[in-house]
Protein backbone atom coordinates (compact mmCIF):
# COMPACT_ATOMS: atom_id res chain seq x y z
CA UNK A 1 0.00 0.00 0.00
CA UNK A 2 2.75 2.46 0.93
CA UNK A 3 4.65 1.81 -2.30
CA UNK A 4 1.51 2.30 -4.39
CA UNK A 5 0.74 5.60 -2.64
CA UNK A 6 4.32 6.80 -3.18
CA UNK A 7 4.15 5.87 -6.88
CA UNK A 8 0.86 7.75 -7.34
CA UNK A 9 2.18 10.81 -5.50
CA UNK A 10 5.39 10.88 -7.54
CA UNK A 11 3.50 10.44 -10.81
CA UNK A 12 1.12 13.27 -9.89
CA UNK A 13 4.05 15.55 -9.05
CA UNK A 14 5.14 15.47 -12.70
CA UNK A 15 1.75 16.59 -14.02
CA UNK A 16 0.94 20.20 -14.74
CA UNK A 17 -1.54 22.08 -12.62
CA UNK A 18 -1.45 24.25 -9.56
CA UNK A 19 -3.80 22.16 -7.43
CA UNK A 20 -3.90 18.41 -6.93
CA UNK A 21 -6.31 16.38 -4.85
CA UNK A 22 -5.28 13.04 -3.37
CA UNK A 23 -8.05 10.79 -2.12
CA UNK A 24 -5.70 8.68 -0.01
CA UNK A 25 -2.20 9.16 1.33
CA UNK A 26 0.32 7.44 3.53
CA UNK A 27 -1.22 9.36 6.45
CA UNK A 28 -4.47 7.53 5.74
CA UNK A 29 -2.55 4.26 5.91
CA UNK A 30 -1.09 5.29 9.27
CA UNK A 31 -4.60 6.12 10.50
CA UNK A 32 -5.89 2.73 9.37
CA UNK A 33 -3.00 0.98 11.13
CA UNK A 34 -3.84 2.89 14.33
CA UNK A 35 -7.53 2.05 13.98
CA UNK A 36 -6.71 -1.65 13.51
CA UNK A 37 -4.17 -1.45 16.34
CA UNK A 38 -1.34 -2.57 14.05
CA UNK A 39 2.19 -1.39 14.76
CA UNK A 40 3.68 1.19 12.42
CA UNK A 41 6.06 -0.64 10.11
CA UNK A 42 9.54 0.66 9.31
CA UNK A 43 8.44 1.26 5.70
CA UNK A 44 5.43 3.29 6.84
CA UNK A 45 7.56 5.29 9.30
CA UNK A 46 10.13 6.08 6.59
CA UNK A 47 7.45 7.19 4.15
CA UNK A 48 5.80 9.41 6.78
CA UNK A 49 9.19 11.00 7.42
CA UNK A 50 9.83 11.43 3.67
CA UNK A 51 6.59 13.30 3.01
CA UNK A 52 7.30 15.49 6.02
CA UNK A 53 10.94 16.28 5.21
CA UNK A 54 10.27 16.74 1.48
CA UNK A 55 7.13 18.81 2.19
CA UNK A 56 5.15 16.75 -0.30
CA UNK A 57 1.69 18.01 0.62
CA UNK A 58 0.19 21.36 1.58
CA UNK A 59 -0.23 21.72 5.34
CA UNK A 60 -4.00 22.26 5.00
CA UNK A 61 -6.08 19.23 4.11
CA UNK A 62 -9.74 18.94 3.28
CA UNK A 63 -11.37 16.53 5.69
CA UNK A 64 -14.71 15.30 4.38
CA UNK A 65 -16.94 14.72 7.40
CA UNK A 66 -19.13 11.70 7.97
CA UNK A 67 -22.68 12.07 6.64
CA UNK A 68 -24.16 10.44 9.74
CA UNK A 69 -25.13 7.15 8.14
CA UNK A 70 -23.49 4.12 6.54
CA UNK A 71 -24.77 2.20 3.55
CA UNK A 72 -23.35 -1.31 4.00
CA UNK A 73 -21.88 -2.96 0.93
CA UNK A 74 -19.86 -6.10 0.36
CA UNK A 75 -16.69 -3.98 0.62
CA UNK A 76 -17.92 -1.64 3.38
CA UNK A 77 -18.60 -3.65 6.50
CA UNK A 78 -18.06 -0.94 9.09
CA UNK A 79 -20.80 0.26 11.42
CA UNK A 80 -21.70 3.92 11.88
CA UNK A 81 -20.16 3.84 15.37
CA UNK A 82 -16.93 2.35 14.01
CA UNK A 83 -16.84 4.87 11.16
CA UNK A 84 -17.09 7.76 13.64
CA UNK A 85 -14.26 6.26 15.69
CA UNK A 86 -12.16 5.87 12.55
CA UNK A 87 -12.94 9.46 11.53
CA UNK A 88 -11.60 10.65 14.89
CA UNK A 89 -8.43 8.56 14.60
CA UNK A 90 -7.99 9.71 11.01
CA UNK A 91 -8.23 13.37 12.00
CA UNK A 92 -5.88 12.90 14.97
CA UNK A 93 -3.33 11.19 12.74
CA UNK A 94 -3.34 14.09 10.26
CA UNK A 95 -3.02 16.62 13.10
CA UNK A 96 -0.20 14.62 14.71
CA UNK A 97 1.60 14.67 11.35
CA UNK A 98 1.45 18.49 11.35
CA UNK A 99 -1.54 19.08 9.10
CA UNK A 100 -4.30 21.64 9.61
CA UNK A 101 -7.81 20.31 9.03
CA UNK A 102 -10.24 22.16 6.77
CA UNK A 103 -13.55 20.54 7.67
CA UNK A 104 -16.06 19.92 4.92
CA UNK A 105 -19.28 19.39 6.83
CA UNK A 106 -22.13 17.06 5.85
CA UNK A 107 -24.24 18.22 2.95
CA UNK A 108 -25.06 17.37 -0.60
CA UNK A 109 -22.26 16.71 -3.04
CA UNK A 110 -22.82 20.07 -4.71
CA UNK A 111 -22.73 21.85 -1.34
CA UNK A 112 -19.46 20.17 -0.42
CA UNK A 113 -17.89 20.98 -3.77
CA UNK A 114 -19.01 24.60 -3.43
CA UNK A 115 -17.42 24.80 0.03
CA UNK A 116 -14.11 23.44 -1.31
CA UNK A 117 -14.19 25.93 -4.19
CA UNK A 118 -14.88 28.80 -1.76
CA UNK A 119 -11.92 27.81 0.43
CA UNK A 120 -9.65 27.55 -2.60
CA UNK A 121 -10.76 30.93 -3.95
CA UNK A 122 -10.23 32.59 -0.57
CA UNK A 123 -6.70 31.16 -0.41
CA UNK A 124 -5.78 32.36 -3.91
Q: pLDDT tens, 97-118?
A: 999 999 999 999 999 999 999 9
- Report the C-alpha gap between 48 and 53 in whole angstroms: 9
Q: Is the overall model pTM greater than 0.85, yes or no? A: no
Domain of residue 35: give its range.
2-123
Split into its structural domains, the chain has a count of 1
Residues composing the chain: 124
- Checking 37-42 for CB contacts under 8 A at 24+ apart, the result is 41/2
Amino acid sequence: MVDLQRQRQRRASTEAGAIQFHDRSVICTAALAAYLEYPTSDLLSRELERIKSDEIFQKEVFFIRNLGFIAPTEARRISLHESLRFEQIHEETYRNCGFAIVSIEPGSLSQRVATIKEVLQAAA
